[in-house]
Amino acid sequence: MRVAIFSIKRYDRSALASANQARHDLTFFETRLTADTAGLAAGHGAVCAFVNDVLDRECVARLAEVGVRHIALRSAGFNHLDRAAAAEHGLTASRVPAYSPHAVAEHAVGMILALNRQYHRAFNRVREGNFALDGLLGFDLAGKTVGVVGTGTIGAVFSRIMAGFGCTVLASDPAWNDELAGVAQYVDLPELLESSDIISLHCPLTPETHHLIDASALGRMRPGVMLINTSRGALVDTAAAIAALKSGRLGYLGLDVYEEEADLFFEDLSNQVIQDDVFSRLLTFPNVLITGHQGFFTREALDSIAETTISNLTAVETGEAAAWVPGVEPQKTTA
Ligand code: NAI
């Protein structure tokens, strides 16, 4: 199948080429997939998109118009795809439902350790010959309560790691994960917010979870709480988080994702003036740590994403079952 691959970087190009073994005819585009760039996919049966590609109604319609039949997402999340529009145009879509959940879970744990013990600040101090410890005081993780919002693949791994630190793990998820019996205790979200010293978000972005952490949720949290978001930026109302940082309600904030990250992340903007004043304000806090959506970025995860993406494309071509995006599966034909 001819596949137009968007938002490609050197690292995932080599992972995809190696998983492909010349099975499909891949065309690589560095540009993001949007309604404006969708025309580049003309002549291709499928497109392959990443998390900050904008697969809105307009883009999907344009893809259908130029003959694309399948959208292969090389991500677990599918909030950037207008599924209703894809279904209306008769397009199918696949995704990578699980790839090294350890990559994201371990990154979340890394953010907790860095924020708590201030590795990022200590690194700079020591390089400048400043060995003073003032301002670096942390706390023992053992004995603290960690709230995990979403205990699917990644949240479950994260819960086990935190239990291993000696933390009490509270979990909130409409679907309980039986494998976490003895590891996490399920409570409702308000109780989790009120009882946790550290809160980590591992649920998908949906209309229901948009701004799940808003001013009212932040108001329920313990003063000085640590909030970690490695899931999707819009789970957190950034303006409310900034207000909570200023008031001291939020004691630490670790973000691997950001509401408006599409215009920033994955690019080298070091020679440009950042136009996003909200993001720039976040960078001024000593107790905020931001990484640029790198939770997934391990060798194991890249290889696994590439392999599942190529096998999804092969399944689409041969009529077998791919890892379909819910609601955008092939229509069943009646005999
Ligand atoms: P998953 O689908 O295995 O688990 C998600 C869990 O969230 C499910 O158990 C679901 O029932 C639960 N959930 C849904 N609505 C909820 C709500 N309102 N409150 C609490 N829980 C709710 O997904 P997985 O693989 O664990 O990924 C989680 C999220 O991590 C993804 O949706 C994606 O946004 C993000 N992610 C981030 C990456 C990064 O590089 N930073 C990489 C991969 C995923």
Q: What is the DSSP string of 210-278?
A: TTSB-HHHHHHSPTTEEEEE-S-GGGB-HHHHHHHHHHTSEEEEEES--TTGGGTTTS--TTS----HH
**Dist. CA 232 → ligand 1 center (Å):** 9
φ, ψ of residue 229 to 5 degrees: the values are: -125, 105
Determine the atom of ligand 1 nearest the C-alpha atom of 294: 40
Supply the residue whose CA is at minimum distance from atom 1 of ligand 1.
Answer: 152
Average pLDDT over residues 58-80: 97
φ, ψ of residue 239 to 5 degrees: the values are: -60, -40
Residue bearing tokens 């883009």: 59
Q: Whole-angstrom Cα distance, residue 282 to residue 235?
A: 16
Q: How many other C-beta atoms are found inside a 10 Å radius of the C-beta of residue 128?
A: 7
The model's confidence at residue 98, banded by pLDDT at 50, 70 and 90, is confident
Average pLDDT over residues 77-103: 95
* 72: helix, strand or coil: strand
56 DSSP assignment: -
Closest CA to 252 of 118, 64, 160: 118
Determine the atom of ligand 1 nearest the C-alpha atom of 295: 40
Residues with Cβ < 8 Å from 70, sequence gap 6 or more? Answer: 1, 45, 46, 47, 91, 92, 93, 94, 313, 316
Closest CA to 85 of 262, 327, 322: 327
Active site residues: 232, 261, 293
φ, ψ of residue 28 to 5 degrees: the values are: -100, 130
pLDDT (0 to 100) of residue 144: 98
pLDDT (0 to 100) of residue 335: 43
pLDDT (0 to 100) of residue 309: 97
Q: Please, where are the H alpha helices in the chain? A: 10-20, 57-65, 83-88, 101-117, 119-127, 153-164, 189-195, 215-220, 238-247, 277-282, 299-318
Question: Does the pLDDT value for residue 163 go beyond 70?
Answer: yes
Single pTM value for the model: 0.94
pLDDT (0 to 100) of residue 190: 98
Question: Does the pLDDT value for residue 14 go beyond 80?
Answer: yes
The model's confidence at residue 333, banded by pLDDT at 50, 70 and 90, is low
Q: Whole-angstrom Cα distance, residue 108 to residue 130?
A: 28
- Protein residues with CB under 6 Å of any ligand 1 atom: 76-77, 98, 101, 104, 149-155, 172-175, 202-205, 208-209, 230-232, 256-257, 293, 295-296
pLDDT (0 to 100) of residue 196: 98
